[in-house]
Amino acid sequence: MSKQYETVIGLEVHVELATKTKIFCGCSTEFGGAPNTHTCPVCTGMPGSLPVLNKQVVDYALAIAIATQCEVTPVCKFDRKNYFYPDNPQNYQISQLYLPIARNGFVEIETNSGIKKVRIHEMHMEEDAGKLIHDEWDDTSLVDFNRSGVPLVEIVSEPDMRSADEVLAYMEKLRLIIQYLGASDCKLQEGSMRADVNLSVREVGSPSFGTRTEMKNLNSFKAIARAIEAERQRQIEIIEEGGEVIQETRRWDDNKEYSYAMRSKEDAKDYRYFPEPDLVPIVIGEDWIERIRSAQPELRTEKLMRYKKEFDIPEYDAKILTESKHMADLFEATTAICHKPKKVSNWLMVETFRLMKETGTECEELIFSPSHLADLINLAENKTINSTVAKEVFEKIFREDIDPNIYVKEMGLATVNDEEAIEKAAKQAISENPKSVEDYKNGKEKAIGFLVGQTMKTLKGQGNPGIVKEVLYSLLNN
Amino acid sequence: MINLMNVKLISNEMNGNDGNVSNDLTGKEVSMGHRIDDETIEYVGILAKLSLTGQEKEKAKADMEKMLDYIDTLNELDTQGIEPMSHVFPVNNVFRDDVISNGDGSEETLANAPLRKNNEFEVPKTIG
């Protein structure tokens, strides 16, 4: 019988903060600028330049620390981490080793196996490196320093996770907290949220940890799940064959679903950390913490509880709607205008998500205004337009944020309630379809459906379906 | 002088805060009259991305031995009960506001490029 193994996983999550400027200089952090346009002597490590800390970075880091139950370090400071690499113009990264801004926090995650605490070992502020682009044909790499000096918070968990499911739940939890705080947009694909996975395996019941590896270059939740499974298998195979896992950093190639060793993992001493002499310590008093705490927005967990109390919508809907702060904001703003939470939830859950899927739109990219959705809901509710027309109008709102009141008027989409017009159309349908009329009279109830369809066709789909049916029944039965 | 104070600071904090880091720069046991072996100098060279000739290695060894001896001198001071110094100046909380103050700095930045291609630095291919 083969041995049972347990996977032990800890995460280092890097989050790019949503500041306008870099951590130590007044260069823009905007994504996608032409190469090296957002650079200055500070973020390219020119001799004699002096870094000055962006206060917003500390505010965001504190907000994340408080939301993840961390203890804030009353006096924290920066250190230099020395290494040589072309994306690092200073030959050191300004980071925090000895006194990181916060320690000892936790978040609660929920998976199929229940609720579990994942502890946070520490959280520190640091600067991002530049970007290397590798030339396929030439034996060179190109360096763009626009990202150099963009502020990061690194969140280091304890090795508390045991499966890919738990890892994904943990990351999702962090993403939601940080997005709600507005501290980062947390987009894995764009690299504003990155995770390095530290993984080891051990026999079930073993009291000590196995040797761990660190996996880098994980750009999506799917890549993370695949990399965890592959690395678990790789380590188990090594152990089963009597070998030893080497402590090293590996790079995941998601196309090949395979990882390869990058370098043997350096110890902290190899980085020759020392205190950053160009930056003074940061003293964080209770008043500062209190200021951040009192400005803290409602987080997802609290929002969910409030929705349960305030709005009569299914719990499932509440969960989905609050998965993105943008969607939740849209829901609340629309509901505040039309006071129909259930209807708003339905439009978001069904039509909005359908169109998002169809057009590949993310929640954050939705352009329509809450007032237009609210107006549409009112138009449908007071039967000015029927449900088919409402869906068509919504698509226009979704794509172009048109004003539904004006649009319905201009396009003449209002439901025809005029009984005379409906009767005229119904009579036409009856005279043109004697077969259906006969079927109906012979007891085939269903034949009325066809006549309703024909009447609606004459009315360009805008007939009030209730009245159309009523009129047809009375014409046929008399 | 400032540099030496930093070195002293490292050993204080390493003792205090990080059990994984031993209190000398090479990670080896220390005693007065340090000897740096070939392996250590080789490794430090790798970390610094320097290829040293035999002669340079010997010179670097002698330098490093002197530095470590000096740290021992500092370690003779009794620092019991003294709060680790976090900075040499008694100044805290120097910040800037999150306001963009720099424009397109690419020409100035790229003026320092030994090799450039379009708007980027060109370097030997580096992956990892």
A414-445 pLDDT per residue, tens: 777 677 788 888 888 888 888 888 888 888 88
List chain A residues with CB under 8 Å of B117: 140, 142
A56 and A168 in a common domain: yes
Lowest-pLDDT range of A13-22, A191-200, B16-25: B16-25
Contact A145 B93 (CB under 8 A): no
What average pLDDT score do residues A37-56 get?
96
Cα–Cα separations (whole angstroms), residue A124 to A80, A135, A242, A297, B15: 13, 34, 38, 22, 20
Secondary structure of residue A461 in the 3-state scheme:
coil
Contact B17 A99 (CB under 8 A): yes
Cα separation, A282 vs A140, in Å, equals 41
Task: Examine residue A162 and state whether it is found in any structural domain, yes or no.
Answer: yes
Task: Examine residue A140 and state whether it is found in any structural domain, yes or no.
Answer: yes
Nearest to B98 among A56, A141, A145 (CB): A56
Q: Which domains does chain B have, with CATH numbers?
A: 29-74 (1.10.20)
Overall size of chain B counted in residues: 128
SS3 percent helix, strand, coil of chain B, rounded to 5, is 40, 5, 50
Task: Examine residue A293 and state whether it is found in any structural domain, yes or no.
Answer: no
List chain A residues with CB under 8 Å of B108: 40-41
CA atoms within 13 A on the CB side of A71: 8
Per cent of chain B over pLDDT 70 is 72
Contact A58 B124 (CB under 8 A): no
- The secondary structure element, H or E, covering residue A132 is strand A131-134
Model ipTM value = 0.76
Contact A36 B20 (CB under 8 A): no
String of b and e for B111-122 (b: at least 16 CB within 10 Å)?
A: eeeeebeebbbb
- The secondary structure element, H or E, covering residue A224 is helix A221-240
Secondary structure of residue A229 in the 3-state scheme:
helix
Secondary structure of residue A213 in the 3-state scheme:
strand
Cα–Cα separations (whole angstroms), residue A215 to A12, A151, A196: 10, 22, 5
A71 and A195 in a common domain: yes
Q: What is the dihedral of CA A379, A382, A385, A388, to 10 degrees?
A: 100
Secondary structure of residue A364 in the 3-state scheme:
helix
Q: Which site among A44, A59, A73, A98 would you substitute to test the B interface, given the most B Cβ atoms closer than 10 Å to its Cβ?
A: A98
Query: So what's the pLDDT on residue A54?
Result: 98
A165 and A22 in a common domain: yes
Q: Does the pLDDT value for residue B17 go beyond 60? A: no
Domain that holds residue A397: 298-411
| Structural domain count, chain A | 3
Q: Kindly report the CATH number assigned to the domain that includes residue A431.
A: 1.10.10.410
A89, with CB counted inside 10 A (0-12, 13-18, 19+), is buried
A203 and A61 in a common domain: yes
Each residue's pLDDT tens digit, A348-389: 999 999 999 999 988 888 999 999 999 999 999 888 888 888
Each residue's pLDDT tens digit, A273-310: 999 999 999 999 999 999 999 999 999 988 998 998 99
Q: Does the pLDDT value for residue B12 go beyond 60? A: no
- The secondary structure element, H or E, covering residue A103 is strand A102-111
Q: Does the pLDDT value for residue A406 go beyond 60? A: yes
Place of tokens 């290829």: B51
Task: Examine residue A195 and state whether it is found in any structural domain, yes or no.
Answer: yes
Contact A38 B86 (CB under 8 A): no
Cα separation, A84 vs A88, in Å, equals 7
Contact A55 B92 (CB under 8 A): no
